[in-house]
Amino acid sequence: MIAKLLIANRGEIACRIIRTARAMGIATVAVYSDADARALHVRQADEAVHIGPSPAAESYLVGEKIIAAAKQTGAEAIHPGYGFLSENAGFAQAVIDAGLIWVGPKPSSIEAMGLKDAAKTLMMEAGVPVTPGYLGADQSAERLKKEADAIGYPVLIKAVAGGGGKGMRLVERAGDFTDALESARGEARTAFGNADVLIEKFVEKPRHIEVQVFGDGEGDAVHLGERDCSLQRRHQKVWEEANSPALNVEQRMKIGEICADAMRKMKYRGAGTIEFLYENGAFYFIEMNTRLQVEHPITEAITGIDLVHEQIRVAAGAGLSVSQKDVTFSGHAIECRINAENPRTFAPSPGRISYYHPPGGLGVRVDSGVYQGYSIPPHYDSLIGKLIVHGRNRVECMMRLRRCLDEFVVDGIDSTIPLFRDLVDNQDIANGMYDIHWLEKYLSSDDAG
């Protein structure tokens, strides 16, 4: 087993990985920028190495500095967390080439899933249901328009190297296609250095369902159920649930087994998430994330399986600790992403936290990288922490969540806690009746607080 692990990340995810590593008897190394000199993950790790100025491009995104820090401290392995370099196949390969253990999927898997068109083709070949569309090599405007006309409007234009909604355009009428294509390509070229796009049928009122998978890299894989991530703002997840209120047990197990079987065929290694749009009983593949997800704690809550523990085991060559027959689902879990943002305008609110009191009690977990007196830096994402609540059923979970939101105090800066207080009392949310457009419509309505 690994004796010393370097975490190539910051904030709450670095703290979360440190906790599991400690429980496994593994020493930890943190890396930090100028802005994070007093960060919690730096305090919690056994060692910490300064890797550069505050901007991520000069510190957390410089793979050479991170590998050098691992060599300097004698760390045997590197865990990338999520974001930053977690889905960078070149960095993963550099870690391996340096003689270190990469706690993540094979670089070839990261590369294969990094482009939406290639990923869709691979998943289709593996038997995963996909959205009707065009992902061919002919990128001429004429061919793309012809394919869109054949699919039928509305359609989505999506950057093949995209993410976070960049390079994506909804086209509702044939006459709007050419302008939308030019706009999507321009944004994709700027954001990703790749102007290629794919065309997909637009699913009008879908839910966003993702399936957690785990493989040993040798042909064995399991699924750990699904998460419903439909409450989104500008394609960014805000509130996640496990299991989904929209699926029954038969649907859950069927799509889970399809995904696990695909991972077996691919000999996938480590944690991964296969994401779908879901509407009227049909699943449509969107993309695969070859890393740990921000919302992984709700899967841990309903399965009792520590995903970081599994990642480290698999990376060390010990294989999975569970088979599919060992995986059971208990109760319901919800995660709210508490951000340092204005709850109405969502403007970032960096600054000093003058008072901090997270909730506690049965079935409550807060994954955070902050403390009272800590200053949220303006250089990174605005996540204060994740409130994860588990109950024996969804009703109990919602009641516990309501209590936790009333108990959660973050003073000195704005936070999104008031938004979640409104959502937990909304009847649509209580009934589980929402899709990926629901939150945007709610925020623009008079009902938003």
Distance (Å, rounded) from C-alpha 76 to C-alpha 6?
A: 8
Sign, CA torsion 324/326/332/334: negative
Short-list 351, 324, 339, 173, CA closest to 258:
324
Strands (E) across 220-314 are located at 221-233, 236-242, 269-279, 282-289
Supply 13's token pair.
């995810």
Q: From the DSSP assignment, how many helices (H) and strands (E) are in the chain?
A: 15, 21
10 Å CB burial of residue 315 (0-12, 13-18, 19+) is: buried
Instruction: Please state, in angstroms and rounded to a whole number, the distance separating the CA atoms of residues 18 and 26.
Output: 9
Residue 88: asked if its preceding bond is cis (omega within 30°), the reply is: no
Instruction: Specify the DSSP element, H or E, that contains 366.
Output: strand 364-368
365 classed as catalytic: no
Q: How many residues are given for the chain?
A: 449
Alpha helix (H) residue ranges in 115-248: 116-125, 141-151, 177-192
β-strands 269-279, 364-368: how paired? unpaired
Question: Which token pair is 258?
Answer: 């399809």
From residue 188, give the alpha-carbon distance in Å to each of 83, 102, 157, 167, 342.
19, 29, 11, 4, 29
Whether residue 154 has a cis bond before it, omega within 30° of 0 = yes
Which residue among 291, 313, 365, 400 is the active-site one?
A: 291
CA dist., res. 220 & res. 324, Å (int): 10
Count of CB atoms within 10 A of residue 45's CB? 24
Other C-beta atoms within 10 Å of 362: how many?
8
Active site residues: 291
